């Protein structure tokens, strides 16, 4: 393990003003996205859409890394440039999603365990040869009546730690993603308690598996109200709850936290990240690793038509720019009005 190299890659991903484009949707997920605009999900339509995003001129000013799906890391642009090289030439580090998805946890109703550890060592070696510099593994934690259970939290934490250790063995930076879902009526205080317990168990497991924290990144949920909670927390409340929670359980050795957007709207995800960075300096860089929150407007603008590529790229560039500003706490709603 080249610890210095791992740390350098992690730091490059969370450099000031930049964050990650998560373009690693599985076949099922991207089909749902394409269904909203009436576009069939085929290998070619998926390739064309990713090409649109990756080739957006100037986006590299705000995007430091791109997470790809297994299919995507093997594809090329319409000009026959491999996507990995297209990104690298723009200074964007290519990454890869390596888990096989969250499946029902046998014996524990309503809870899930992420699969994909079998054969991971061999797959990591292949992905490294294909050019991946970092990877991602997502665990899913649901809040409900008497869940999450301790067993679910520990099982997912151990899987995340085994994945992270295998990544570092292969010279690839692991992004550790334990997502406490927004689904439910729980309030922000319940989300904070579950998030703190989840992260505590994750970092205990990472320590036990001898994972080099300086060569990792954390991709968590924000501490936020449940989607169906009658009392929705403000951006300032989310920022305070998230930062104070993380200060208690996330080691300062971690270079950066790249938040997922979850079920938030594009603008809400930007506002919440901005509010955190506006609080001042933190032990870690607070960045973004957004999928839908970076892509939703671009997807609607595209509609699967080549004539709309320029409009879709403008929409993607704008969201990247807004989140780049949120990295410094300088985003404002005026940026949205200017774009409109």
Active site residues: 177, 219
How far is 192 from 326, CA to CA, in rounded Å? 22
Question: Alpha helix locations (H) across 170-234?
Answer: 188-208
How far is 318 from 123, CA to CA, in rounded Å? 35
How far is 226 from 318, CA to CA, in rounded Å? 28
Output the six-digit token pair for 282. 């933190």
CB 114 within 8 Å of CB 137: yes
Strands 112-114 and 19-23: unpaired
CB 110 within 8 Å of CB 142: yes
How far is 191 from 189, CA to CA, in rounded Å? 5
């Amino acid at each position: 393990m080249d610890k210095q190299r791992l740390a350098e890659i992690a730091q490059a991903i969370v450099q000031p003003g930049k964050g990650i484009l998560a373009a690693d949707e599985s076949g099922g997920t991207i089909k749902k996205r394409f269904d909203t605009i009436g576009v069939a999900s085929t290998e070619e339509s998926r390739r064309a859409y990713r090409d649109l995003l990756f080739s957006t001129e100037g986006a590299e000013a705000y995007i430091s890394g791109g997470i790809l799906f297994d299919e995507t890391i093997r594809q090329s642009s319409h000009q026959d440039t491999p996507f990995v090289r297209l990104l690298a030439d723009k200074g964007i580090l290519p990454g890869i999603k390596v888990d096989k998805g969250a499946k029902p946890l046998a014996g524990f109703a309503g809870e899930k365990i992420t699969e994909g550890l079998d054969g991971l060592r061999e797959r990591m070696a292949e992905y490294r040869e294909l050019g991946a510099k970092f990877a991602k593994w997502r665990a899913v934690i649901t809040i409900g009546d008497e869940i999450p259970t301790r067993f679910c939290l520990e099982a997912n934490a151990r899987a995340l730690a085994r994945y992270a250790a295998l990544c570092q063995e292969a010279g690839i930076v692991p992004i550790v993603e334990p997502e406490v879902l927004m689904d439910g009526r729980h309030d922000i205080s319940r989300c904070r308690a579950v998030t703190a317990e989840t992260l505590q168990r994750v970092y205990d497991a990472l320590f036990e598996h001898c994972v080099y924290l300086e060569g990792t990144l954390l991709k968590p949920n924000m501490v936020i109200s449940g989607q169906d909670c009658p009392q929705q927390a403000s951006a300032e409340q989310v920022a305070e709850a998230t930062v104070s929670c993380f200060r208690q359980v996330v080691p300062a050795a971690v270079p950066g936290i790249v938040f997922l957007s979850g079920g938030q709207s594009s603008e809400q995800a930007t506002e919440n990240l901005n509010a955190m960075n506006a609080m001042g300096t933190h032990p870690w860089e607070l960045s973004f690793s957004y999928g839908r929150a970076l892509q939703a407007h671009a997807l609607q603008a595209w509609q699967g038509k080549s004539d709309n590529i320029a409009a879709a790229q403008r929409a993607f560039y704008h969201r990247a720019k807004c989140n780049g500003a949120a990295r410094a706490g300088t985003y404002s709603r005026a940026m949205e009005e200017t774009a409109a």
